[in-house]
Structure 1
Amino acid sequence: MLAKHKAMLIGSIGAGKSTLTNSLLGREVKAVKTQSLNYYDWIVDTPGEYTENPLFYKNIMATALEVTHVLYLQDATNQKLIFPHGFSSGFNKLAIGVVTKSDSERADVNLAVSQLKRVIAKGPIVITSSYKNEGIQEIRELVQLNSLEEMKEYANNNYSANIIFA
């Protein structure tokens, strides 16, 4: 991946940020609880507390200055939405919604997608399973794009069931 493209992953505690990071980087490492910002190649993995506690929003805002894309993760097994409505509009970065844990028996993918549509005004939403490697390549390719229009074109021309454009 070109060094100029960097992505920050944000989401609730246990949403699958570290597991997704490992999948995106092709690493087979067991995910552990993230205690601080972790920088890996083109990815910044953030602690879930940064998203769940508004006192940490300044940390997210500062870190966003270092990246080109922000990935908003919604765990398909968790009905609670932790992002405020329209949260992505606070960042001048390309937004990508990511539904995690879509392979779980408890997953409600439709609910997770509708929740992400409230967070991201416009942009792609990718349905993923890190364990089945679903949606992973789509995220890698989206992060290489430079505009919302390019991401929309990618979503419209990609025949994957794992990607929609909101």
Structure 2
Amino acid sequence: MKKPIFIGAIGCGKTTLCQRLQGKAITYNKTQVIQYYQNKNLIDTPGEFMEHRNLYSALMTTSVDSDVVIFLQSVVDKRQSFAPGFGSMFTKEKIGVVTKIDLSDTPEDIDWAAQQLKSAGAEKIFKVSAKNNIGIEELSQYLEII
């Protein structure tokens, strides 16, 4: 089982995805601190850690406990959350997850989000809707959760 750390902007769906991967009910829960989910070896980080450069060191330090770094980009958030090459600060495998694909107006929205993740350094891209359970099985299999 791979131990992932989830990194992304506020509201991109990190916690919802963690809930889905654990088979829990989907409920809104603002992540205030780093959350460790021992039952599935997941690390959920607050979006503020991604959005404020002075907190990058917390992401790097916490990633030491992970096997894979997962960058998340929501299709509804049109901000460039990740700087090009952002992933170079991590020495782990890096993958990307396009979230909230059920809210996409066009396929171009999903393509744009995937490109943002690739630019950040994601080597493989998954497209999911945690709310509608789309793409979750493929991601779970990759992370060896199921």
Decide: shared fold, TM above 0.5.
Answer: yes
6-15 or 88-97, larger mean C-alpha shift: 88-97
Cα deviation, residue 31, structure 1: 2.5
SS in 1 for 2:101: coil
- Select which of 4, 8, 29 maps to 1:7: 4
Which letter does structure 1 place at the counterpart of 2:56?
A: Y
Q: Deviation digits for residues 28-72 of structure 1, max 9, x if unmatched?
A: 140311000001121011000000000100000000000001110
Cα distance in 1 between the residues matched to 2:104 and 2:69: 28
Whether the aligned pair in 2 keeps the contact of 1:74 and 1:81 (CA below 8 Å) is no
Shift in alpha-carbon separation, 1:53–1:126, aligned structure 2, 3 A? same
Corresponding residue for residue 54 of structure 1: 53
1:133 maps to 2:117: no
Q: Distance in 2 between matches of 1:95 and 1:28?
A: 27
Taking the aligned partners of 1:88 and 1:11, their CA distance within structure 2 comes to 12
> 1:115 — aligned with what?
116
The higher relative CO (CA closer than 8 Å, separation ≥ 6) is in 2
Which residue identity lines up with residue 134 of structure 2 in the other structure?
E
Contact 1:22 1:28 in 2 (8 A): yes
What SS does the corresponding residue of 2:103 show, helix, strand or coil? coil
Residue deviations 1:84-110 (CA, integer Å, cap 9, x gap): 111112111111100000001446111
How many residue pairs match? The answer is 140
The one-letter amino acid of 1:130's match is A
**Corresponding residue number in structure 2 for 1:75:** 74
Say what the alpha-carbon RMSD is for the aligned residues. 1.3
CA distance in 2, matches of 1:76, 1:60: 23
**What is the match of residue 65 of structure 1?**
64
Q: Does residue 25 of structure 2 align to residue 28 of structure 1?
A: yes
Q: Could you tell me the TM-score, scaled by structure 2's length? A: 0.90
Alignment gaps of 5+ in structure 2: none
**Unaligned 5+ runs, structure 1:** 145-166
Deviates more, 1:59-68 or 1:24-33: 24-33
Task: Look up the SS of the partner of 2:126 in the other structure.
Answer: strand
Deviations 1:97-124 (A, max 9, x none): 000000014461111011111011x521
CA distance in 2, matches of 1:109, 1:93: 25
Cα deviation for residue 143 of structure 1 reads 2.0
The alignment's TM-score, normalised by the length of structure 1, stands at 0.80
